[in-house]
A and B are shown apart, each in its own frame.
Chain A
Amino acid sequence: MKVLIVNTMAPFVWGGTEELATHLQKNLVIAGHEAEVLRIPFQWEPAQRLPSQMLMVRAFELSNVDHVIALKFPAYLIRHPRKTLWLLYQYCQAYDLFDAGQTNLLNSYLGADIRTLIKNADNESFAESRNIFTNSEVTSKRLKKYNGYDATVLIPPINDPELFIGGENNRGGYIFAGGRVNEMKRQYLLLEAISKTTKEVRLIIAGPSDSPEDAEKLRKAVRRLGLEDRVKLDLRFLPRQTYAEYVNHSSAVAYLPFDEDSLGYVAMEAAIAGKALITTTDSGGVLGLVKHNETGWVAQPDIFSLANAMNEICCDMQRTKIYGLSAKELLLSFDISWPKTVEVLLQ
């Protein structure tokens, strides 16, 4: 089958959604289909431009395509008789962010009209779709609450599970915190916490920082707390192999984003490697994978609660290992894989 993945783009920006589209394309080809990605430029500022951007997508004509998989607003407005949505993103500023006051839709008749337009266009697109899936509970709930549509969650699979083979903590034992470094991911909380643990606990924080300030904040905290011999910072974009080795050789993985939409790649990669997880009560979707005292520790988002969990990891390595195996078992029970995902998206 000729499958066209339809996505939006901000020209010159490449991020997680682009990666996801590329991996979806690759896995459609593996499953024996022809697959290509159409990336439609999208400009949402100023908000008065939104209607023309929506019309733009709506007016495009597709030929020589058997099946469309559309991912984001407004790309999913594209017309095709056989269109399935894997909804990663609605225009949240017209929905939940509007309610929270974080919106570029002016508090005026025009803003209200644009909001109505977005909602109506969305509803029309959802109605004409063959199937709707989302990437997370949060996206599904938003869709249900504002548009009244039910959608099954289809969690994006790990792109290279074969790298996360697990292994022994033969590098002296450390807790690993990977992924992007920024305020929302709260790596600094781990630094504050480790200063309150026993001296045996060690920590590696590795990944690209969103800004130089984010990196500097961590470096300063290490110096201030005198953690140089117990904490390693490797703040850069890591080759996948390097990243996977950090995971594979760790004792456990800590991941405490604030209110994440989905399970999170970082948590899924740790679980597939059989590593116990530390997260916090307000980490959102990650809690789907971290069950307290089963697959890891769900701490309060405070220094002492986290320090306590970090101590427990190191004082009973046997238990930590068992939690890690349970995390892997739980993730496998979700049956998230590319072959299955591709099959479902083509139904």
Chain B
Amino acid sequence: MKIALCSTFVPFIYGGGRNIVEWLQSMLEQEGHHVERIYLPQVDTPDLLFRQMASYRWIDVSSADRIICFRPQSHLIDHPHKVLWFIHHLRFFYDLWETPYRSFPDDAKHRGIRDALYAADTAALLEAKKIFTNSRVVSSRLKAFNMIDSEVLYPPVFQPERFYSRGYNNEIVYICRMEHHKRQHLLVKAMQYSQTPVCLRLSGLSGDLRYLNSLQHLISDLDLKKRVILDHRWISEEEKVEYLADCLAAVYLPFDEDSYGYPSVEAGHASKPLLTTTDSGGVLELVSNGVNGYITEPDPKALAEAMDKLYMDRQNTRAMGKNALARLSDLNISWSHVLKRLLA
């Protein structure tokens, strides 16, 4: 089949929004499909929104048998067989409207833009043969704002069969970009309350040097250099596999994200339990407290307690790791399921 994968991008910014497209492309090509990837620019400034949306309506991909659209506003592209794997709205106009993140006033003009956007989005969404989302959070937003039903199709990680478990050492790993909303600082603070020799490894690149500095200072101020490894770099995929194979458990505790996050799924494929927090959003779709990981309050003392439990009760940690892997198949997080649904 000739399949066009359509999404939007900001040049030179790489990350989750591209991964879901490019990994799917690779899987579809393995299955023998002819895939074209189309990334088009999108700038979220309210005044420029509708002219860009007009552009999307004029795009002609009729040579494709089917198109799959991802990031907004690619769902506006017109095609007789349009399937959406919808990953978020233009959030300032939707779920972030009532938050400090909205960068424009709540006035008549912007409310007008918002109402027109809702109408245009809903109309374009209704054109789709089928709408999938990446999480229950996004599905419930589609229901609340656009009154449209959708099916959750959890995005798998690339080549999940790479991950495995070799044992359980004393290290809890957090492999993720180091940013304030990913909250590595909560874990460093937690380490001072830990009663066991459990160690913490933070691996990842930071785009925010001030945050990185604050983490470094925190580690030396709390005299944790021996127990906290801060590895500030983009580690290779092979290294990631190794760290996850050996670790005791993994962490993913961002503040209120839509989807469960790839680090959470990678940990599951390595049969490692996940430590997360009650306010982490989509991660909670994956983790049940005490079953395949721990969910604590976003508080250093509570986190320390969970880390100590992971260290002390090895048998339970091991069992939760097994459950973490089983949970992935329970939720159908696999490429075979994704391909089956998207090509149905």
Contact = CB atoms under 8 A, between A and B. Distances in A.
Interface stretch (B57-65, B248-256, B295-303): B57-65
Interface residues of A, number: 26
Contacts of B233: none
Nearest to A2: B12
A204 to B, nearest CB: 32
Interface stretch (A36-44, A116-124, A231-239, A268-276): A36-44
A41 B11 contact: no
B63 to A, nearest CB: 5
Nearest to B63: A11
Contacts of B36: 9, 11-12
B29 to A, nearest CB: 13
B147 interface: no
B34 interface: yes
A34 B42 CA distance: 19
Interface in A47-78: 49, 52-53, 55-57, 59-65
A315 interface: no
B24 interface: no
Nearest to B34: A12
Contacts of B39: 38-39
Contacts of B54: 55-56, 59
B344 interface: no
B40 interface: yes
Contacts of A36: 11-12
Interface string A1-45: 010100001111000000000000000000000101011110100
Nearest to A68: B11
Contacts of B60: 41, 43, 49, 53
B43 A55 contact: no
A52 to B, nearest CB: 5
A34 B63 contact: no
Contacts of A62: 11, 41, 43
A53 B62 CA distance: 14
A10 B36 CA distance: 10
Nearest to B39: A38
A114 B60 CA distance: 19
Contact of A59 (B34, B45, B55): B55
Interface residues of B, number: 27
B48 A64 contact: no
B181 interface: no
A60 B52 contact: yes
B42 A61 contact: yes
A12 B52 contact: no
Contacts of A41: 38, 59-61
B52 A4 contact: no
Interface string B50-78: 01101100111111100000000000000
Given A2-B11, A2-B12, A63 B41 contact: yes
Contacts of A40: 40
A61 B11 CA distance: 11
A60 B41 contact: yes
Contact of B48 (A11, A49, A61): A61
A10 B59 CA distance: 11
Nearest to B4: A11
Give the most central of A10, A40, A52, A59: most B CB within 10 Å. Answer: A59
A42 B169 CA distance: 56
Interface in A240-265: none
B42 A11 contact: no
B108 interface: no
Given A12-B36, A12-B64, A49-B60, A64 B13 contact: yes
Given A12-B34, A34-B12, A60 B2 contact: no
Contacts of A57: 55
B58 A55 contact: yes
B63 A65 contact: no
Contacts of A64: 10-13
A104 B323 CA distance: 63
Contact of A60 (B13, B55, B61, B64): B55
Nearest to B50: A59
Interface string B1-16: 0101000001111000
B4 to A, nearest CB: 6
Nearest to B53: A59
Given A11-B36, A11-B64, A52 B58 contact: yes
Contacts of B52: 59-61
B108 to A, nearest CB: 24
B63 A38 contact: no
B61 to A, nearest CB: 5
Nearest to A49: B60
Nearest to A35: B12
Nearest to B42: A61
Most chain B beta-carbon contacts within 10 A, residue among A12, A41, A56, A59: A41
B41 to A, nearest CB: 5
Contacts of B4: 11-12
A2 B48 CA distance: 23
Nearest to A13: B63
16 contacts: A2-B12, A11-B61, A11-B64, A12-B2, A36-B11, A36-B12, A38-B39, A41-B60, A53-B58, A55-B58, A56-B55, A56-B59, A60-B55, A62-B11, A63-B43, A65-B12
Interface of B: 2, 4, 10-13, 34, 36, 38-43, 45, 48, 51-52, 54-55, 58-64
Given A55-B54, A61-B48, 8 more contacts: A12-B64, A36-B11, A38-B40, A39-B38, A49-B60, A59-B51, A60-B52, A63-B10
- 9 tightest A-B contacts by CB? A43-B60, A61-B43, A56-B58, A59-B51, A56-B55, A59-B55, A52-B58, A11-B36, A11-B63
